[in-house]
Amino acid sequence: MRRSFLPTLLVACSLAVPALAAEPAKPPKAPVKRICVNVKDGSKAVQGTNLVVEPGDTLRDAVAVDGDVIVKKGAVVDNDVAAIRGRVILEAGARVKGDVVSLGGEVRVHSGARVDGSATALGGKLKLDKQEDVGGEKVSFSMEFNGEDLVKQLIGKALDEDQKCHILDDDDDDTDA
């Protein structure tokens, strides 16, 4: 059984609360659009755009940074789906055999979709039409202070420190001896 990373994240969030409350508000930065797609072993990852898993597609993993992951009816993800500063949306008839996670956004599982593992929304909401459509744990954690979601802010600050794209293909590291 996999260990949950939720206790560690909760401690990190609670430590960040005083620092977030003390900082003056900064004007919002213009969004930087970067798209990095990597197809490795049947997985897909994007940054700065949405990842749509189309009907009939079968992926190993699906990941979006600064974008949503939308799994359409008839699409299957064999492992996990993750969205960082984005949403995960599973339409009726979609299936994820692993876990579904959104950091800084919501997870939406429509009636008739199936998540075999856990569904987690940190810094957003977990919206399930039917509780039984998720086989594992159902976790939603948000913490608001003065109308601002502190978990979403923490995730955003961590990602804003390094705006470079880091979606890598392991095959790029192979060298011929």
List the chain domain ranges: 35-145
Amino acid at 62: A
The DSSP bridge partners found for residue 44 are 39, 62
CA gap 17, 11 in Å, rounded: 10
Amino acid at 37: V
Contact 109, 100 (CB under 8 A): yes
pLDDT in tens, the chain (177 residues): 555 544 444 444 444 444 444 444 444 554 555 555 556 588 999 988 999 999 999 999 999 988 999 999 999 999 999 999 899 999 999 999 999 999 988 999 999 999 999 999 988 899 999 999 999 999 998 887 887 777 777 777 776 665 554 444 444 444 444
Q: What is the DSSP letter of 148?
A: E
CA gap 177, 165 in Å, rounded: 28
CA gap 169, 32 in Å, rounded: 22
pLDDT at 37: 59
Other beta carbons less than 10 A from residue 131's beta carbon: 8
pLDDT at 161: 62
Contact 51, 63 (CB under 8 A): yes
Which token pair is 103? 């950091």
